[in-house]
Amino acid sequence: MTYRIKRIVPVICLVAALCAIALLPVSGHCENLRFVFLADSPVGTLPPHPAPTDLINTSILNPIISQILALSPRPAFVVYGGDQAACGALNGLYNFQAFKEVMAPLTSAGIKLYTALGNRELFNPTLNPLALGTFYLANQQVYQRTFYENPGNGPSGYEHLVYSFESPGGDAFFAVLDPYYLTADNPSPNLNGTFDNTQLSWLAAQVAQTKASHKFLFSHAPYYYVIDPNAEGPVPPQGISYTQLWSMLDTNRFDAAFFAHIHLFSRKAIDSSIAPNPQLTPPVQWHNNVVQVINGAAGAPIVTNPPTPPIVDPALWHISQAANTYYFTVVDISGSRVTVTTYQGNTGAYSVLDSFTINKNAVPGTDLLLLQ
């Protein structure tokens, strides 16, 4: 299946672009399409002398791949949300090609693979024994060369890291962002990520041009967290760029944003009960209930402690923390409706954990969720 790739020159004024977006007409709902989202497959403990594939938890990822291949109908594509392995490079070897080989049963079956870069892709513990200590530019460059199949229509320098594509009929728009983009080695990275103005302006221009009625965003680190209280690093908020991004998603009625990074499953329609954090000036309020899905457990060591949400009360989450298992999410677009079904399991058969439907014919500002 061929997807339409668009190259748009980045805009200078992000605010002007955002204002223009809301004036565009909405296209009709006419397509049926299925895709899958999953992420985070690093092994928890490195073997003594690991080969690149040994850094990937194939004992979990391979059965998930088999489950995806057994879906009927099969998905048109899979989006992998980052953290493919324990680290991007080790002992002089990069493992990106090894990850592609693990995912080859999907691509060989005609299911296209899109990838988003995670923080672990930038680690090289051979150069720095503190694996979380440094992001390496060389890792990013090798990643870009290896995943050349990702669209190259992002801003200059961001090719195959930041990109968009549309469904064959043009009624669904998909964008991938990179919260860890490097121009040099970073010895003190922010694992929670940020988005520079280049990416935000580029995305605004892309959204301003599309006539798709369904819109989806993919990136690694989420905006709103449900997080293990013992997780390393500072507690979010993420920073102003995440609020700016969410303002764009909310203004333009994105269906959903899919993230990973935290090794659990959670989802929430971000409605007016949830405050932007940090707030913008002038202040904004969410109206259009864009659904945030966190699905970061396709083999990574799972979060098992009770959640301590620093931003959102767990009672407000539809699913506040599903742990002790692994997940993949199937998204079905059928006309004006989008059904999102998440499966849980281990090495055997997977069963439905969560399913909800978004109705894009709902009046803006009302609850788009039909099933919870």
The pLDDT score that the predictor gives to residue 286 is: 95
Structure tokens at 288: 């259009």
The pLDDT score that the predictor gives to residue 363 is: 53
The mean pLDDT of 69-79, rounded to a whole number, is 98
Neighbours of 356 (CB within 10 A): 21
The pLDDT tens digits for 250-290 are 999 999 999 999 898 999 999 998 889 899 999 999 999 99
Neighbours of 117 (CB within 10 A): 30
Q: Tokens 């259009």 sit at which residue?
A: 288
**What one-letter code names the amino acid at 93?**
L
Q: Is the pLDDT of residue 215 over 90?
A: yes
The mean pLDDT of 200-218, rounded to a whole number, is 98
Closest of 251, 336, 249 to residue 293, by C-alpha: 249
Contact 30, 291 (CB under 8 A): no
The residue that leads in pLDDT, 288 or 25, is: 288
Residue 225 confidence class, pLDDT cut points 50, 70, 90? confident
The pLDDT score that the predictor gives to residue 226 is: 74
Neighbours of 26 (CB within 10 A): 11
Closest of 196, 151, 155, 194 to residue 173, by C-alpha: 151
Beta bridge partners of 4: 166
Contact 87, 125 (CB under 8 A): yes
The dihedral built from the CA positions of residue 238, 243, 248 and 252, taken in this order, carries a sign that is positive
Task: Dump the DSSP string for 47-58.
Answer: -SS--GGGGB-H
Contact 65, 71 (CB under 8 A): no
* Three-class secondary structure of residue 339 per DSSP: strand
Q: Which of 76-80, 311-315, 322-326 has the lowest mean pLDDT?
A: 311-315
Structure tokens at 6: 């668009």
Q: SS3 string of 64-96? A: HHHHHHCCCCCCCEEEECCCCCCCCEECCEECH
- pTM of the complete model: 0.89
The pLDDT score that the predictor gives to residue 217 is: 98
Domain annotation for the chain: domains and CATH numbers:
14-359 (3.60.21.10)
How much is the CA Rg of the chain, to the nearest whole Å? 19
Q: Is the pLDDT of residue 308 over 80?
A: no
Helix (H) or strand (E) holding 19: helix 14-21
